Amino acid sequence: MEDFFPSKLAIGKQFCNRHKEKELLNKNIMKTRHTVLVSPRRYGKSSLVHHVVSESKLPFASIDLFLAHDDKAIIKRILTGIAEIVSQILPLDQKILQKLQALFSKFRVSLSVSHFLIETTYNISEVDAADQIFSGLLALQELAKAEHKKVIFFIDEFQDIASAESAKSIQGAIRHIAQATSEIIFIFSGSNRHLLLELFDDKSMPLYMLCDKIYLDRMSSESYKSHLQKLAEYKWGSTLSEANFYKIMALTELHPFYVNLLCNRIWENKNPPTEQQIIEAWNQCYEDEKRRLVVELEKLTRNQQEVIKSLAFEPTNELSSQTFIAKTGMASSSILQSTKALFERDMIFKVTFEERALPFFKINQVRVLDPLLAYALRQYG
């Protein structure tokens, strides 16, 4: 069975739209301008990068700093990314290995069956992390320049670097290379927008104003329409009815992850779905994800739970209104404190767009960001 709606990377024909963001990222790559991608979790940042890079045909490494909270883990993952790019630039043979060892003189370079390996020559607990990362990236830059190549270095979950012992000096090393290079294009992203943007917007941080920012919002229903109808035609030989298409959009509230989650279930049907089958598929998504949603709620304080529950039932433009205060039973100051924390955790958001498929969305309205979480809260209520 073909996977039209992947839960991980959307590649090739699985990728949907993002024309504006693709164009912006492509231009930055061509100009060697570094980029930080900003969006809530599961909006498709990694899919966007991999899609654009696959079209660019440039040497590329993708590393993930998730839970890389110490210097040792960060060095290892960055060196792994460097080795990945080197393996795409040069043929894998012993003569090249000698050349690389001379270039990466501070490291141990070896050759496996499928790629080069680059490792520190010291006890990794004793090395200067910033110096190792700077030396590795500098050698990569020199290699790319000698081979007349541009290369792309994508670092995901970059905000996790902040808790490392040498966090600032490592960021300083990356900045030094990024400012001087014409060969390495850095792309950064992360699932915690608040922490990620602190690294690039705070004047006291080494990466301040280094990158262009590309913000990913929810796509419009029109962006999904041609994609879904093409897949419907392929699957069933006919398109979705207008009413059923908009039912999918309304239930998922255009959230990219949930569009894929719901459509994956719908496309398992042998025939085009009825409205009732779409609702049943959404309820099954809820049953499958319920435990995860409960865990997310359990991480919140009691006041935060009360605020997000109230917003699930009745989104509002006025968090300090008497109506909302009465609904939560909380003091205005407690509401504001809780909503600030919920915004920072990407659990609520302020509507910035109007959409035909979502007539219940109003500009500046504060809503629960996760549509299935809002649905779960209403079920509990």
In a domain, 297, yes or no: yes
6 domain-assigned: no
Q: Are 183 and 38 found together in one domain?
A: yes
Would 13 be classed as within a structural domain?
Answer: no
SS3 66: coil
d(CA 340, CA 300): 13
Are both 235 and 209 inside the same structural domain?
A: no
Both 72 and 201 in one domain: the answer is yes
- Average pLDDT on 25-35 reads 97
What is the mean predicted confidence (pLDDT) over 133-143? 98
Same domain (yes/no): 194, 47: yes
> Are 279 and 362 in the same domain?
yes
Contact 34, 137 (CB under 8 A): no
Residue 125 has pLDDT above 70, yes or no: no
Per residue in 37-51, pLDDT tens?
A: 999 999 999 999 999
- 267's tokens: 């496309």
Q: For residue 318, give its domain range.
A: 221-380
Residues 45 and 160 in one domain: yes
Distance, CA of 333 to CA of 212 (rounded, Å) = 35
Task: Quote the pTM value.
Answer: 0.94
* The residue to which tokens 């492509």 are assigned: 26
For 243-252, the pLDDT digits (tens) are 999 999 999 9
Q: Note whether 44 and 174 are same-domain residues.
A: yes
Q: Do both 230 and 322 map to the same domain?
A: yes
Whether 368 and 374 have beta carbons less than 8 Å apart is answered as yes
Q: Domain boundary at 215, 235, 269, which?
A: 215
Closest among 23, 55, 18, 59 to 39, alpha carbons compared: 18
Residues 171 and 227 in one domain: no
Whether 94 is in a domain gets the answer yes
Question: What pLDDT score does 121 carry?
Answer: 82
Total number of domains constituting the chain: 2
Q: Which of residues 160, 182, 215 is at a domain's end?
A: 215
User: Span 47-69, mean pLDDT?
Assistant: 95
Predicted confidence at residue 380, as pLDDT, reads 77
Last residue of a domain, one of 215, 230, 256: 215
